[in-house]
Amino acid sequence: MLVPSTLLTNRLILRPLTHADAPSIQEAASVREIADTMISIPHPYPNGEAEQYIQRQIAEFEAERSVSFVIECKSEKEFCGIMEVRDIEREHSQAELSFWLAVGVWGQGYMSEALKAVVRFGFKDLALNRLYAYHMVKNLASGKVLQKNGFVQEGVLRQRVLKWGVFEDVKLWAILRGDWQDQAE
């Protein structure tokens, strides 16, 4: 059974998503630069979409298919972004990571810090063997943060998504429990 978890890093709090996060998500996800880098975030971000997103994530958590975290800066207790461990497959001991940060906190190393904590959570608390993530090729920052944290590029899915009338290539990255344990030593 999944239980709500809060993860702490030097500068961040990663806590369970709640209905009270809707205004912060709505505001941050409405910025065009977020939608431009994310496979599944639309622009303009529809009114009410944040509430629907939260409701879906809570249902996925209750069904033990997903764990979502709000990323907050400790110093300001301010919303910074979202990280999900989703599509949890117990049979194959794997899950997908999905993440984004509000534009105002880009370039400060927060995502790398959050990713380390969530990877540890995935391998230790969820007992997974494999974590994987996708990003559009044009989203160089996501590729860099994954590589920096030990993920290995497994391939390129050519023209995998249609974003704003353009077919975009998508990279697939993964890290295995053994890779992560080797890095931790």
pLDDT, tens digit, 9 for 90 and up, residues 107-142: 999 999 999 999 999 999 999 999 999 999 999 999
**Is 155 a domain residue?**
no
Quick check: is 169 in a domain? no
pTM, rounded to two decimals: 0.93
Q: How far, in Å, CA of 173 to CA of 63, rounded? A: 26
The type of residue at 91 is E
Is the Cα dihedral 24, 25, 31, 33 positive or negative? positive
| CA–CA dist 89, 91 (Å, integer) | 5
Residue 157 lies in a domain: no
The confidence score (pLDDT) of residue 183 equals 83
Is 178 part of a structural domain of the chain? no
Report the number of distinct structural domains present in the chain: 1
pLDDT of residue 98 exceeding 70: yes
CA 84: distance to chain centroid? 4
Residue 185 has pLDDT above 70, yes or no: no
Q: What is the mean pLDDT of residues 53-64?
A: 95
Q: Domain residues for 110?
A: 7-131
Position 55 pLDDT exceeds 70: yes
Does 184 reside within a domain?
no
Beta pairing partners, 166: 163
Residue 164 lies in a domain: no
The answer to the question of residue 65 being in a domain is yes
Confidence (pLDDT) at 45: 86
Is 118 part of any domain?
yes
For the domain that residue 21 is a member of, what is the CATH number? Answer: 3.40.630.30
